[in-house]
Structures are given as C-alpha cells and as structure tokens.
Amino acid sequence: MFKESINSFETFLKTHDRVVMYGVLSRHDIKVPDIKLIVGYVGNGSLNINIDYPASIFSPLREVEIDGVVTSLEGLKSILEYRAFMRDPHKTTSILLRWSDSIEKCFVIDDYVSLRKYEDLALKICEVLNCKVCEIYFTHDEYVIDVNPVPELSNKDLIEKYVRLVKKIIKK
C-alpha cells in the first residue's frame, strides 16, 4: 500500500498517533498545544482537569474519528462515557486541549502552501514529517493542532496541483 502512496510509511507512522506527532513536532521547535491525556475514564468518578474551555477532545488514533469541541465538563464526561461503553475502557485514551477561537486549515502539496502566511512553518512541518501532501490545522498564534496526511481535495485547483505532483513522481 505505501509503495503506491504519495506520502511515505514514515509519514503515516509519525501522524497516525497525535501524541507521537506532537512529540516529533515539539522536538523541532514547532509549537503544539499543551495536552492532557485521559486514560480509561469510567463511571461517575469526578474529573479533575484544569483546562480553560472551550476545549477539544481528540482520539490519539486518527481512524477512531471521534473528534470534537466540548464546551463543558458535562460534555467531556458524556463523550468519555460513550467511548467507555463502545469499547474496553482500559484501552480508552483521549487527548484534551484548549480550543482556540480561530482555527485555519492549510493545504500543502509538494512546495505549494495554500495559506502564504504559514508557508515557512508548513514546509518545515512537511520536512519533519516527510510529508508531500497534507492538510495542517493552525491556531491564530501558529500552534499546530493536527496534520492529516490523507486530505480530501475538493477544490479543482488543489486537485490539479496533486495531479502535477503525481506526474512528477512518476517521471522519476
């Protein structure tokens, strides 16, 4: 599968788990949010989490696809209880981070960066993660919230840039 992919196996290893990705990026002086890991929350126990709301709760593993913004401790508790109900609670892990009031999505395809103000930072992230195509989510103060190495390209211009990259790689 990875021989047929634009991005390398190394890219998927570094971005598959958000905790790993945050560690890799922070070692290269790229700003990532402070996070709290919540492991295996079950039942009516009290949550003792000191974080400003609104916040976002992510699954470390991207394919779980239960990501969203929580605006209250009750909302967080509800999400965690749902996860505990759906699978073994001892294997449940969540990431909680303070949600910024503005998030910007930036597409990177080879050396093209959709938001010029993040160009240098986006290209550095791609170099660190060995990523040729991705979407990067930034806060207004240049914190990296997420890097998706399998972006959905719906814009005609982005699709054309992607096709040019594929043709360039095939020629090599």
pLDDT tens, position by position, 82-132: 766 666 655 567 788 887 878 999 999 999 999 999 999 999 999 999 999
Please state the φ and ψ torsions of residue 39, each to the nearest 5 degrees: -115, 125
Q: Is residue 26 part of a domain?
A: no
Q: Is residue 79 part of a domain?
A: yes
Predicted local distance difference test score (pLDDT) of residue 90: 56
Same domain for 157 and 109?
yes
Q: Is residue 22 part of a domain?
A: no
Q: Is residue 23 part of a domain?
A: no
From 98, 114, 143, the end of a domain falls on: 98
Same domain for 84 and 117?
no
pLDDT tens readout for residues 33-81: 988 877 665 555 555 666 666 778 787 777 666 677 777 777 777 777 7
Q: Is residue 71 part of a domain?
A: yes
Same domain for 90 and 109?
no
Same domain for 79 and 105?
no
Number of domains, the chain:
2
Give, as one character, the DSSP assignment of residue 20.
H
Checking 69-75 for CB contacts under 8 A at 24+ apart, the result is 69/99, 73/47, 73/49
Same domain for 43 and 82?
yes
Burial of 67 (0-12, 13-18, 19+ CB in 10 A): middle
Same domain for 136 and 155?
yes
Query: Among candidates 6, 36, 29, which has minimal Cα distance to 149?
Result: 6
Cβ neighbours around 127 below 10 Å, total: 10
Q: Is residue 117 part of a domain?
A: yes
Q: Is residue 29 part of a domain?
A: no
From 59, 82, 98, the end of a domain falls on: 98
Predicted local distance difference test score (pLDDT) of residue 46: 54
Same domain for 90 and 39?
yes
Same domain for 49 and 11?
no
Q: Is residue 110 part of a domain?
A: yes
Unique residue bearing structure tokens 């992510």:
58
Same domain for 126 and 153?
yes
> Which residue segment(s) compose the domain that 50 sits in?
35-98
How far is it, in rounded angstroms, from Cα 172 to Cα 167? 9
How far is it, in rounded angstroms, from Cα 46 to Cα 77? 9
Same domain for 12 and 69?
no
